[in-house]
């Protein structure tokens, strides 16, 4: 594509024409190839303008920058190179990527999920429902990325716009007509999803998280609310909102320019709700009541939280044109999402071991409440293992300690990606909340040893919850990142126990 044509789609403060063809777009100078446009933008931790010379050495033929000094220097020292000065680097990255890649976002119907908890499961469920009805999809989320039948890793919940558009482009080539994305508050605030046209927007819930980044709950809400206003695009056609959430009214106002679909378990004013809920150890059943009638839903996913996830995904699937009958069929064939209430095979031990991503006090309460339901009839105990991440919101640590100890019979406190912080210091902060109850606590900073202690503390009929890391495959320490998988570690402990 000719640079001048590509540049015509940019919102620029100044630009310089150049007789060059551009082949691709990069924001990381290490990935630049000959013929690429390099977008140099200032970020929270680094300034991409420092790497313009490296990008030119790699073969960049055009530079987009948010620095006047950098723009002037490129024009002066490299007159044959295309150049553009922009106010917003991330917006420019989205605009030039879409232009060079031929606007794949315009060829996919995009459903986006935001919320503190439930984003991953809801996105997985919605994609599964769409696929069940014969549609080819792209899925971008925390656990993994799907391009048609291909499964890829996901380094970030919501990648940079250039990477999202590349995945969309691959999806279009694979015949995809639908895309489902998790949209994190960070991505919305940083405009990593700029100019992505969202057809259906889904709000799951809002509880405290990420205040290390947002500072206040008001800022956290404002970031998520951007999805419903449209990030450089018109508002979504349909907004699917959880009417049981405390912040429902605020999100209803934020989504006032979209058609609302409200769902709830408790709020009977909601259009889409449930009756006759049965939560069993092996499945969940309920009658889905809608303005167009009702249908029985049966799913292998269990727990009250998954009733909400199923409702959110079902409403979005209905908004995307599936029938209620197609949704009911799809629900019956749904598979467990990795790291979301994932049961580790325990052989003949009689112990249930579950790995879950719960990493907020609200998510912990929901997880423990589900576990309590499952052991109630067999007189078992709930043993909860968890930790709090380092270099993250410190104000939720004591709250998580309190939440775990209020609902559990035994709590095991350990580390969870301590990063630059001392794991023992983090645990001390968690203990201030845990000690507000009389529940017994075991403290073991070594996570592998803690998992072993938690499982060995269990008896037949008990449930052991390994919370916080879910699908993650590493433990991030101060000095290094090491391989670590709760599922693998737990399976090893259970195998040892089975061997005597």
Identify the H or E element spanning 225: helix 217-229
184 is in an annotated binding site: yes
Tokens of 57: 């050495």
118 is in an annotated binding site: yes
284 a known binding residue? no
Q: Is 258 annotated as a binding residue?
A: no
CB 386 within 8 A of CB 403: no
Q: In 3D, which of 427, 370, 375 has the Cα closest to residue 400?
A: 427
The answer to whether 190 is annotated as binding is yes
pLDDT-flagged residues of the chain (< 70): 211, 500
- pLDDT, residue 263, reads 98
Q: Do 359 and 399 touch, CB atoms closer than 8 A?
A: no
* C-alpha dihedral sign at 290, 296, 297, 302: positive
Tell me whether residue 304 is annotated as binding: no
Do the annotations mark residue 120 as ligand-binding? yes
| Beta-ladder partners of 413 | 386, 443
User: In the prediction, which pLDDT does 51 show?
Assistant: 97
Structural domains of the chain, ranges and CATH numbers in brackets: 3-100 (3.40.1390.10), 104-332 (3.40.1190.10), 342-498 (3.90.190.20)
Q: What's the pLDDT at 370?
A: 87
Segment 419-444, tens digit of pLDDT: 999 999 999 999 999 999 999 999 99
Q: Is 480 annotated as a binding residue?
A: no
What SS3 state is found at 382? strand
Q: For the packed helices 361-376 and 397-407, what is the interaxial angle rounded to 10 degrees? A: 10
Q: Is 157 known to sit in a ligand binding site? A: yes
Is residue 472 annotated as involved in ligand binding?
yes
Give CA 198 to chain center in angstroms. 16
Residue 117 annotated as binding?
yes
DSSP percent split of the chain into helix, strand, coil, nearest 5 = 40, 25, 40
453 is in an annotated binding site: no
Q: Which pLDDT score is estimated for 142?
A: 87
CA angle 237, 239, 244 (to 5 degrees): 170
State yes or no: 47 annotated in a binding site: no
The structure's pTM equals 0.85
User: What pLDDT does residue 153 have?
Assistant: 85
pLDDT at position 304, please?
Answer: 87
Query: Does residue 416 have a known ligand-binding role?
Result: yes
- Determine if residue 155 is labeled as part of a ligand binding site: no
Q: Distance (Å, rounded) from C-alpha 27 to C-alpha 13?
A: 19
């Amino acid at each position: 594509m000719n640079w001048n044509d590509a540049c015509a789609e940019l919102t620029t403060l100044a630009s310089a024409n150049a007789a060059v063809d551009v082949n691709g777009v990069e924001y990381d100078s290490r990935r630049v190839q000959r013929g690429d446009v390099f977008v140099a933008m200032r970020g929270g931790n680094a300034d991409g303008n420092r790497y313009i010379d490296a990008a030119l050495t790699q073969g960049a033929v055009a530079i987009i920058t948010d620095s006047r000094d950098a723009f002037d220097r490129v024009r002066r020292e490299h007159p044959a190179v295309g150049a553009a000065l922009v106010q917003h680097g991330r917006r420019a990255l989205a605009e030039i990527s879409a232009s060079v890649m031929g606007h794949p976002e315009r060829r996919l119907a995009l459903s986006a999920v935001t919320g503190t908890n439930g984003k991953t499961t809801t996105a997985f469920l919605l994609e599964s429902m769409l696929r069940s009805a014969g549609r080819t999809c792209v899925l971008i989320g925390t656990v993994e990325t799907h391009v048609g039948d291909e499964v890829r890793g996901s380094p970030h919940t919501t990648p940079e716009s250039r990477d999202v558009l590349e995945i969309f482009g691959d999806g279009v080539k694979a015949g995809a007509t639908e895309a489902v994305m998790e949209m994190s508050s960070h991505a919305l605030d940083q405009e990593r999803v700029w100019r992505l046209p969202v057809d259906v927007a889904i709000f799951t819930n809002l509880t405290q998280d990420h205040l290390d980044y947002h500072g206040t709950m008001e800022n956290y809400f404002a970031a998520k609310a951007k999805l419903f206003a449209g990030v450089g695009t018109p508002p979504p056609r349909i907004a699917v909102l959880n009417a049981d959430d405390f912040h429902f009214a605020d999100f209803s106002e934020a989504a006032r320019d979209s058609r609302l679909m409200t769902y709830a378990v408790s709020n009977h004013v909601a259009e889409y709700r449930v009756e006759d809920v049965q939560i069993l150890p092996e499945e969940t059943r309920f009658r889905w009541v809608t303005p167009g009638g009702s249908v029985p839903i049966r799913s292998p996913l269990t727990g009250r939280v998954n009733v909400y996830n199923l409702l959110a995904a079902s409403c979005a699937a209905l908004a995307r044109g599936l029938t209620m009958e197609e949704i009911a069929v799809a629900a019956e064939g749904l598979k467990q999402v990795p790291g979301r209430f994932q049961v580790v095979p325990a052989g003949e031990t009689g112990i249930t071991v579950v790995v879950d991503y719960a990493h907020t006090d609200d998510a912990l309460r929901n997880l423990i409440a589900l576990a309590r339901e499952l052991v109630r009839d067999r007189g078992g105990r709930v043993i909860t293992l968890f930790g709090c991440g380092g270099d993250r919101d410190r104000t939720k640590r004591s709250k998580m300690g309190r939440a775990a100890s209020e609902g559990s019979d035994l709590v095991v406190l350990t580390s969870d990606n301590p990063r630059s912080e001392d794991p023992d210091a983090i645990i001390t902060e968690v203990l201030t909340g845990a000690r507000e109850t009389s529940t017994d606590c075991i403290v073991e900073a070594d996570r592998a040893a803690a998992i072993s202690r938690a499982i060995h503390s269990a008896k037949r009929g008990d449930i052991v919850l390994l919370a916080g890391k879910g699908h993650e495959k590493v433990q991030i320490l101060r000095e290094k990142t090491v391989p670590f998988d709760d599922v693998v570690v737990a399976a090893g402990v259970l195998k040892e126990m089975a061997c005597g």
